[in-house]
Amino acid sequence: MSRRNFARLAVTTGAAAVTSPAVAQGAIKWRLASSFPKSLEGLWGASPTLAKYVNEMSDGKFTIDPFAAGEIVPGLQVLDAVANSTVECGHSYGGYYIGKNPTLIFDGSLPFGMTPRQQNAWYLYGDGKKLMDEVYDGMGVVSIPFGNTGGQTFGWFRKEMKSAADFNGIKMRVAGFGGKVLSKLGVIPQQIAAGDIYPALEKGTIDAAEWVGPYDDEKLGFHKVAKYMHLPGVLELEANTGLYINKSKWAELPVAYQAMLRVACAYALMEMLAGYDARNPKALNRLVAAGAQLVLLSPDILKALRAALEQVLDEEAAKSEQFKRVLENWRAFRAEQHRWFLIADARTEMSVYALTTAQ
């Protein structure tokens, strides 16, 4: 069975036939605005992947033209562009828009949060999807998980962070809730698009930056201007990105085309995660060979960061009933996941890794 026929079968089984009257009226053409530049193919790549498979599954009747950050709207304005119908859909990260609604961070990534597997479990088998759908519905948007970077590094610094006090006064590019948490330690968070981070580090406008991980960070050249890569990446154990779809445009789609989008998004998510997992180890080796210094955060720093996170979460919950409701659900699910994975995965993995590196 060919890949095209398999994909078509997966979409049409249990869904409306592609030859439904709504489809027969003519071809559907959408534009997709991405928050990411083409140079970062791990993040950007989800958009052409989606366009390719939707086109194949619909026999060319449903086409999506992807545009990189800045080609239609700036990268940090994608959610607005989708909500106001500037474009039919977009690819972005919920943490960029916590100024609009802090609850969006649960659809992106939280410090000391969950891994990609745990996040998917909460979304699909916990109440994650229901709770996030309520948030996006209020914005006139439908969101579908559309990619995940996996675990990230903590960030690049111009000097080594040896204690919690060292963070005081540091200007750091950091997105999402990481900035709110670090601000409790005296960090001055900056939200800067990918292409502007290197010159800001080079000029000293900022002292540190968090982006994704070795592969993307190498491309952006951070190690040349801030050689201290800090670990572990407790700010983001995963980073879920979403396909944002204008609510009215989604409602106009035949059910079969809606199913195509869901299937293509699921594949793009798996592809992105696999890509980063395959590329990051090689990139890390190159970075170390080029002079990057790996720095482990001390237990005292990690404890201070965790305490800061819980304080920020409680503060946000006190201001928003919606945030509080999602937080209570998320915290309970996270606790169960962390207990289980500590037994099932973490201990086993560390035992295996230790034996592997000893060879």
Predicted confidence (pLDDT) at residue 283 exceeds the cutoff of 80: yes
Using CA atoms, how far apart are residues 108 and 348, in angstroms rounded to an integer? Answer: 27
What mean pLDDT comes out for the span 59-79? 97
Would you give the distance in Å from CA 317 to the centre of its chain?
A: 22
Using CA atoms, how far apart are residues 130 and 86, in angstroms rounded to an integer? Answer: 26
Predicted confidence (pLDDT) at residue 120 exceeds the cutoff of 90: yes
Q: Give me the sheet containing 62-67, strands edge to edge.
A: 62-67, 28-34, 89-92, 240-246, 141-148
Structurally, how many domains does the chain consist of? 1
Q: Which helix (H) or strand (E) holds 257?
A: helix 255-289
Percentage of the chain beyond pLDDT 90 is 89
Residue 21 inside a domain? The answer is yes
CA-wise closest residue to 167 among 207, 119, 220, 125: 207
Residue 181 inside a domain? The answer is no
Rounded-to-5 percentages of helix, strand, coil across the chain: 55, 15, 30
Using CA atoms, how far apart are residues 31 and 320, in angstroms rounded to an integer? Answer: 34
Residue 332 inside a domain? The answer is no
- pLDDT score for 95: 93
CATH number, domain with residue 143: 3.40.190.170
Q: How confident is the model at residue 11 (pLDDT cuts 50, 70, 90)?
A: very low
Percentage of the chain beyond pLDDT 70 is 92
- pLDDT score for 359: 65
- pLDDT score for 46: 98
Residue 29 inside a domain? The answer is yes
Q: What are phi and psi of 255, to 5 degrees?
A: -55, -35
According to DSSP, residue 178 is labeled H
Would you give the distance in Å from CA 332 to the centre of its chain?
A: 22
Q: How confident is the model at residue 21 (pLDDT cuts 50, 70, 90)?
A: very low
> What is the residue range of 75's domain?
3-148+238-278
What mean pLDDT comes out for the span 153-169? 97
Cβ-count burial 144-179 (b if 16+ within 10 Å, e if not): bbbbbbbbbbbbbbeeebeebeebeebebbbbbbbb
Predicted confidence (pLDDT) at residue 184 exceeds the cutoff of 50: yes
What mean pLDDT comes out for the span 209-223? 96
Residue 218 inside a domain? The answer is no
Q: Is residue 113 within 8 Å of 334, Cβ to Cβ? A: yes
- pLDDT score for 27: 94
Using CA atoms, how far apart are residues 159 and 173, in angstroms rounded to an integer? Answer: 15
DSSP sequence for 308-332: HHHHHHHHHHHH-HHHHHHHHHHHH
Predicted confidence (pLDDT) at residue 19 exceeds the cutoff of 90: no
Q: How confident is the model at residue 193 (pLDDT cuts 50, 70, 90)?
A: confident
Q: Is residue 82 within 8 Å of 33, Cβ to Cβ? A: yes
Among 22-31, 151-160, 264-273, 297-306, where is mean pLDDT lowest? 22-31
Look at 5 and 261; give whichever has higher pLDDT.
261
Residue 298 inside a domain? The answer is no
Predicted confidence (pLDDT) at residue 9 exceeds the cutoff of 70: no
Predicted confidence (pLDDT) at residue 314 exceeds the cutoff of 70: yes
What mean pLDDT comes out for the span 318-340? 98
Angle at 163 between CA 157 and CA 167, to 5 degrees: 50
- pLDDT score for 176: 74
Using CA atoms, how far apart are residues 122 and 257, in angstroms rounded to an integer? Answer: 26
Residue 133 inside a domain? The answer is yes
Q: Is residue 139 within 8 Å of 101, Cβ to Cβ? A: yes
Condensed to tens digits (0 to 9), the pLDDT of residues 126-148 reads 999 999 999 999 999 999 999 99
Residue 168 inside a domain? The answer is no
pTM: 0.90
Q: What is the mean pLDDT of the chain?
A: 93
